[in-house]
Structure 1
Amino acid sequence: MTVTLVPSLPTLVTPSRPDPLGVLGVPGEINLDHAASAPCARAAADAVAELLPWYASVHRGAGALSRRCTLAYERARQTVGDFLAARPDDHVIFTRNTTDALNLLARALPAGTTVVTFAGEHHANLLPWPRGSVRLPVPDGPSGAVRSLDAALSELSRDARPGLPVLVAVTGASNVTGERWPVADLARVARRHGARILVDAAQLAPHAPVDLAALDVDYLALSGHKLYAPFGTGVLVGRGDWLDAAPPYLAGGGATSHVGAATHEVRWATGPARHEAGTPNLLGAVALAAVCAALADADRDALHAREQALVGRLRAGIAALPHVVELRTFGPDAPRVGIVSFVVAGRDSAEVAAHLATAHRIGVRDGLFCAHPLARRLLTEAATRSGRRDLPPTALRASLGLGTTSSDVDA
């Protein structure tokens, strides 16, 4: 395979501190798979290393080690909540990842809740919801998403039994195309119809500030491993009433305030503890909080500008190759984060990914990216748009992060 570099690519201006988190990496390896799992930030590694000698039980010990770990865990909860602008009555619940957080919320829905999603969601935001949920078609643009949701909620308000809750579940940024969804506009529509709204921020939070209060959303989920804290934790943040009324996500120690001799003599805790039974992932929570604190102190506008220059450079290079077709849901100028999916005409995507890895030490993702309905639709549309009939049935995805450089993109 011959790789052609296009001399007319835009010039990238790199700020003096392009990576304030000190993202770790392997020399010589070009990692363009951040959307799957981002590398570890130095801030996360240092926070874990500092706490490891003190590692002990959380919430259930009187010794100095346990008290220190309990303090670290609850401080991490506060730091993550502050990073996401959680409101005073919001719960910040540590989970394993975004999928775990969304399944937790699905278990906590009041009986009869209708969940409205779009067909462009990651499987984590398609599969956990109860039967009878509404899946809207993939819109052709942000305004189309708003209109589609408005129409669907209007119809639900006419047809559903009065008083039954409705939850809108939408991504903040597509894990397939990187395109950003109009979350604030969708939240306004949900409010107008008395519905609640959840945002899957797994792909948005690593690239842009996320403010629950400003967006006016009820729930938000994200993964630490996509946010430079790959220590096996995630978070669900949001309104406490449904969460406090629901059965615990896991039954066990820490989720109870009283257990009697009889099997039915159980009083469950309220607040985050209700859904955090068992020994928590202390190191994961501390690592995630360390990254949140580092990002909160960083110049997010400068990081955004740098990433936009990189993703523009990548898309320009792809567009200049006649045998490569980019996948997109919205128009070519829609706002996006640093994720680009594409196909190489006449070449199997897995074969191309393997060649990039072995011959050029470039890591990308191939497949349908756990968003099969969306990816298959976009592949069909790409064939129609390009007029090519030799596009493969799966795609490639290059995703950028804080450690990505212009030379990585050029390669």
Structure 2
Amino acid sequence: MSTLDVERIRSHFDFPATGRVVTNNAASTQPPRELIELLGRLAPWYENVHRGQSAASRRTTALFESAYDTIASWLNAPSRRCIATYRNTTEAINAVMYSLLTSFRDGDNVVTTMMEHNSNYVPWHALCREILPRFGRRVECRIARFRADGSLDLDHLASLIDQRTKLVCCTGASNFFGAKPDLAVVRRLADAGGYPQPTGEHRALLLVDGAQLVPTTAVDVQALDVDYLAFSFHKMLAPFGVGVLYAKEHLLDHDLPFLYGGDMIAEGRVTPTSVAWNDLPWKHAAGTPNILGVIVSAQALRLLVDLVLPTAFFSSWGPLPRVAIEETMTRVARHTAALTAHCMAGLREINGLRPYGPEQRTPLVAFTIAGVSPFAVAQALDRQGVESRAGCHCATLAHHALGLDPPASCRLSFALYNTFDDVDRAVAALRTIQPAATDALPTGRSTPAVR
């Protein structure tokens, strides 16, 4: 039984009127009507931030900076000084890679996992195999295995971390398996290496890809003691390319910027021989940012609380209580877990269908059907009005490790506005296409997953 008033929640969205069964939410969620309307209300007073004297510029700047406060509250970060915004999770992770680039020493290593989205593997592969070798520096990229059920092999991870491990990169929740690694254990393993960081710490830094974690769980970055965490708003109701990087303040203060240019420089502090950086977090915000996107995206968090709880935080900028955030995400997690369990029960009754990942998972199920192309499955589901996703979901390492040929699966994923009827329609559609699709339809080719 749902812990949410789903029909009330759905009344805030326009997609139900189309008859769509929206079950591809791990890629992107649907935008509530209020966010689109908010964008329209903001537009007449739009101006650039941090560099204008007009009333419109001051107003927009205040809203923009307050958005950082809301984001910090959502993660229980100490302040906005720990927050940087980018286009997406991918760019946020790349920002960490380029910020740390010059601090790697010959003989260092980076540890990541076979469970990662390409965005949390390919930058580190490129760093170790392509970028640093051009500077004559040898840095190894080590990859931890996953277990048969799709959970992270923590013993193997531990065996890869040593005193030369500068950075551990780990998903908070797999977008293929739905598995959530025990980040407290990963943190302890990263600490055990004892790498001497330039900031004076003796531990491996920990970067968490939170693209699937933050939309499904109440995340407390201080309790997790992560050094970096990245996520995207397009998976949290906002229809914009806005990604977030949380980083500990002393790291953002010490790290080199990813991008250089306007607004990240202290006012008037450029000479032919020196440049001084702006205060945090603007040191890591070169050029004109996605101003309205950031403002509306932060309001998506406040609206999410209102959709779930009887509150009125949307369109305001006051403090967002931690208890409200945690209760909101607890209720969302309960509802989507019930949907996922219902889906898993239905899928088990379909002959030849193999789901991937552990029993306890985030609200997604990736699967294959023996003798049927995942792309054919997705196309057949679409003809019956059910939206899924076929491909490697950019979890390419895991698909290859499982020996899938092509390296692809079909995936259903759920959000707070999904109903049990959505799940039943998806499972019923799979029952009808499973026997008939075997001889049908081309294999197709994988396309990159959106981040």
Q: Closer, same or farther in 2 for the Cα pair 1:15/1:227, shift >3 Å?
A: closer
In 2, Cα distance between equivalents of 1:29 and 1:206: 21
Q: Closer, same or farther in 2 for the Cα pair 1:15/1:270, shift >3 Å?
A: closer
Instruction: Report % sequence identity.
Output: 34
1:237 aligns with 2:237: no
Aligned partner (choices 100, 111, 116) of residue 111 of structure 2? 116
Q: Which letter maps to 2:156?
A: S
Deviation at residue 293 of structure 1 after TM alignment: 2.1
Aligned partner (choices 13, 25, 28) of residue 15 of structure 2? 25
Equivalent residues of 1:222, 1:234 under 8 A apart: yes
In 2, Cα distance between equivalents of 1:260 and 1:365: 49
Deviation at residue 204 of structure 1 after TM alignment: 1.1
In 2, Cα distance between equivalents of 1:235 and 1:89: 11
1:16 aligns with 2:40: no
Partner of residue 54, structure 2: 63
Aligned partner (choices 314, 318, 323) of residue 343 of structure 2? 314
1:302 aligns with 2:313: no
Aligned partner (choices 367, 373, 396) of residue 397 of structure 2? 373
Q: Closer, same or farther in 2 for the Cα pair 1:304/1:34, shift >3 Å?
A: same
Partner of residue 407, structure 1: 421
Once the two structures are superposed, residues 131-172 of structure 1 have per-residue CA deviations (whole angstroms, 9 ceiling, x without a partner) of 02222222446986332232222xx22xx3xxxx62211111
Deviation at residue 249 of structure 1 after TM alignment: 1.6
Partner of residue 336, structure 1: 361
Equivalent residues of 1:248, 1:275 under 8 A apart: yes
- Cα RMSD after superposing both structures: 2.3
In 2, Cα distance between equivalents of 1:74 and 1:36: 28
Partner of residue 166, structure 2: 166
Which stretches in structure 1 are left out of the alignment for 5+ residues? 1-11, 381-390
Deviation at residue 111 of structure 1 after TM alignment: 2.6
Deviation at residue 18 of structure 1 after TM alignment: 6.1
Which stretches in structure 2 are left out of the alignment for 5+ residues? 129-139, 194-202, 309-327, 426-451
Q: Which letter maps to 1:244?
A: D
Q: Closer, same or farther in 2 for the Cα pair 1:138/1:90, shift >3 Å?
A: farther
Equivalent residues of 1:43, 1:287 under 8 A apart: no
Partner of residue 230, structure 2: 221
Partner of residue 388, structure 1: none
Equivalent residues of 1:85, 1:213 under 8 A apart: yes
Once the two structures are superposed, residues 276-310 of structure 1 have per-residue CA deviations (whole angstroms, 9 ceiling, x without a partner) of 11111011111221122234564332222211110
Equivalent residues of 2:150, 2:177 under 8 A apart: no
SS in 1 for 2:365: strand
Equivalent residues of 2:399, 2:407 under 8 A apart: no
Deviation at residue 272 of structure 1 after TM alignment: 2.1
Q: Mapping of 1:126-141 within 5 angstroms?
A: 126-129=121-124, 130-131=127-128, 132-140=140-148
Q: Which letter maps to 2:255?
A: A
SS in 2 for 1:133: strand
Deviation at residue 206 of structure 1 after TM alignment: 1.0
Deviation at residue 105 of structure 1 after TM alignment: 0.5
In 2, Cα distance between equivalents of 1:149 and 1:102: 20
Deviation at residue 190 of structure 1 after TM alignment: 1.9
TM-score by structure 2 length?
0.78
In 1, Cα distance between equivalents of 2:332 and 2:2: 11
Deviation at residue 13 of structure 1 after TM alignment: 4.0
Q: Mapping of 1:1-400 within 5 angstroms?
A: 12-13=1-2, 15-17=4-6, 20=9, 22-26=12-16, 27-88=18-79, 91-109=82-100, 110-112=103-105, 114-129=109-124, 130-131=127-128, 132-140=140-148, 145-153=153-161, 156-157=162-163, 160=164, 166-193=166-193, 194-257=203-266, 258=268, 260=270, 262=272, 264-296=273-305, 298=308, 299-328=328-357, 332-333=358-359, 335-357=360-382, 359-378=383-402, 380=404, 393-400=407-414
Q: Closer, same or farther in 2 for the Cα pair 1:410/1:143, shift >3 Å?
A: closer
SS in 1 for 2:402: helix
Q: Closer, same or farther in 2 for the Cα pair 1:238/1:18, shift >3 Å?
A: farther
Once the two structures are superposed, residues 328-360 of structure 1 have per-residue CA deviations (whole angstroms, 9 ceiling, x without a partner) of 2xxx43x21111001122222212211211x21
Q: Closer, same or farther in 2 for the Cα pair 1:62/1:134, shift >3 Å?
A: same
Q: Which letter maps to 2:62?
A: L
Q: Closer, same or farther in 2 for the Cα pair 1:280/1:401, shift >3 Å?
A: same
Equivalent residues of 1:33, 1:398 under 8 A apart: yes
Equivalent residues of 2:151, 2:180 under 8 A apart: no
Structure 1 stretches (4+) deviating beyond 4 angstroms? 17-21, 140-144
SS in 2 for 1:356: helix
Q: Closer, same or farther in 2 for the Cα pair 1:88/1:260, shift >3 Å?
A: closer
Equivalent residues of 2:228, 2:245 under 8 A apart: yes
Most deviating of 76-85 and 186-195: 186-195
SS in 2 for 1:128: helix
Q: Closer, same or farther in 2 for the Cα pair 1:355/1:17, shift >3 Å?
A: closer
